[in-house]
């Protein structure tokens, strides 16, 4: 009984982010647009990851991501297959999460991959409706393999 209570409390603390080491950073919408300028389906590079899913896929070529911390200080994150990016958009503040390296932007849409296991699972959201962009290490054990 006591172990169940301890497990429940630990789960709640992790769920609230109190024990989580995953820091969340912001990417201003204008900065996101600049960083993805010129990146389209023709500029993607083939990568291979290891971890729970050994997969090869096309990824955006961004190596460093400019963002800001919660105090507004500039911060630079190295791209990794474990990075997740969360877009808040629309009147009802919908949220969509993609793997960062599987995101591209065209004139009107952000297109991203939502799964490492089913690479065809993608979604598009309207760029002009995005109000907030957050990025964090999702804590998954994915790493790039040198080709």
C-beta neighbour count of 27 within 10 angstroms: 21
Percent of the chain with pLDDT over 70: 84
Residue 18 clears pLDDT 80, i.e. is over it? no
The band of 26, judged by pLDDT with boundaries at 50, 70 and 90, is very high
Q: Is the pLDDT of residue 13 over 80?
A: no
* Residue 118 pLDDT > 50: yes
| Residue 140 scores a pLDDT above 70 | yes
In 64-94, which positions are buried (b, 16+ CB within 10 angstroms) versus exposed (e)? ebbbeeeeeeeeebebbbbbbbebbbeeeee
pLDDT of 60 reads 96
| DSSP category for residue 50 | E
Answer yes or no: is pLDDT of 50 > 60: yes
Phi, psi of 5 (to 5 degrees): -65, -45
């Amino acid at each position: 009984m006591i172990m169940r209570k301890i497990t429940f409390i630990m789960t709640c603390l992790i769920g609230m982010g109190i024990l989580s080491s995953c820091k969340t950073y912001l990417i201003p919408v204008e900065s996101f647009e600049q960083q993805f300028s010129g990146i389209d389906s023709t500029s993607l590079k083939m990568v291979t990851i290891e971890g729970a899913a050994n997969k090869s896929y096309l990824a955006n070529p961004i190596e460093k991501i400019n963002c800001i911390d919660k105090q507004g200080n500039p911060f630079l994150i190295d791209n990794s297959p474990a990075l997740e990016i969360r877009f808040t958009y629309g009147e009802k503040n919908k949220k969509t999460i993609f793997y960062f390296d599987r995101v591209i932007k065209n004139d009107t849409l952000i297109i991203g991959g939502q799964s490492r296991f089913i690479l065809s699972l993608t979604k598009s959201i309207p760029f002009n409706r995005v109000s907030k962009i957050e990025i964090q290490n999702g804590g998954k054990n994915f790493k790039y393999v040198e080709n």
